[in-house]
């Protein structure tokens, strides 16, 4: 896959001076939506090149590999582009949990904040006291 050509066709959002595309991770087996994040061109290249999900952190201002701290990696199975070219859907094989709060998905609560999923790991143990 020619990442330069793909990147040129995508509609990016400019956040803090960085061109980013929406990246949605979905469990390839049961189709649960796991998380939504951003990718810059570097993260997209690393994802397609290694087969492991990489994202761009707007808080840290750098690309990172999913699971680099927790070990909860995402293996790429396939990728799709949406009709407008402003989002990518990645079908992944998720190890343990996608959410840094310890839940399988980042969508573990309803609008009132009620927890709907079981916490699968303690984030303080995975990331340290400050997360």
**Which CATH architecture group holds 3-98?**
Roll (3.10)
Task: Report the candidate in 22, 20, 13 with the shortest Cα–Cα distance to residue 79.
Answer: 22
**Residue 20 β-bridge partners:** 13
CA distance 67 to 131: 13
pLDDT digits (tens, 9 = 90+) for 31-88: 999 999 999 999 999 999 999 999 999 999 999 999 998 999 999 999 999 999 999 9
pLDDT higher than 90, residue 20: yes
The span from the first CA to the last CA of the chain, in angstroms, equals 36
Q: How confident is the model at residue 130 (pLDDT cuts 50, 70, 90)?
A: low
Would you list the domain boundaries of the chain?
3-98
pLDDT by residue (tens digit) across 91-109?
999 999 999 999 999 999 9
Handedness of CA 31, 32, 36, 42 (dihedral sign): negative
Residue 125 has a pLDDT of 85
Residue 76 contacts residue 65 (beta carbons within 8 Å)? no
């Amino acid at each position: 896959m020619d990442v330069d050509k793909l990147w040129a066709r995508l509609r990016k959002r400019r956040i803090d001076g960085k061109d980013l595309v929406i990246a949605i991770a979905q469990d390839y087996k049961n189709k649960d939506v796991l998380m939504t994040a951003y990718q810059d061109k570097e993260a997209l290249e690393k994802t397609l090149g290694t087969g492991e999900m990489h994202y761009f952190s707007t808080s840290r201002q750098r690309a990172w590999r999913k699971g680099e701290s927790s070990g909860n990696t995402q293996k790429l199975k396939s990728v799709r582009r949406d009709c407008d070219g402003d989002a990518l859907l990645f079908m992944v094989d998720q190890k343990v949990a996608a959410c840094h709060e310890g839940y399988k998905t980042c969508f573990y609560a309803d609008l009132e904040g009620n927890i709907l999923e079981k916490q699968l790991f303690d984030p303080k143990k995975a990331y340290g006291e400050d997360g």
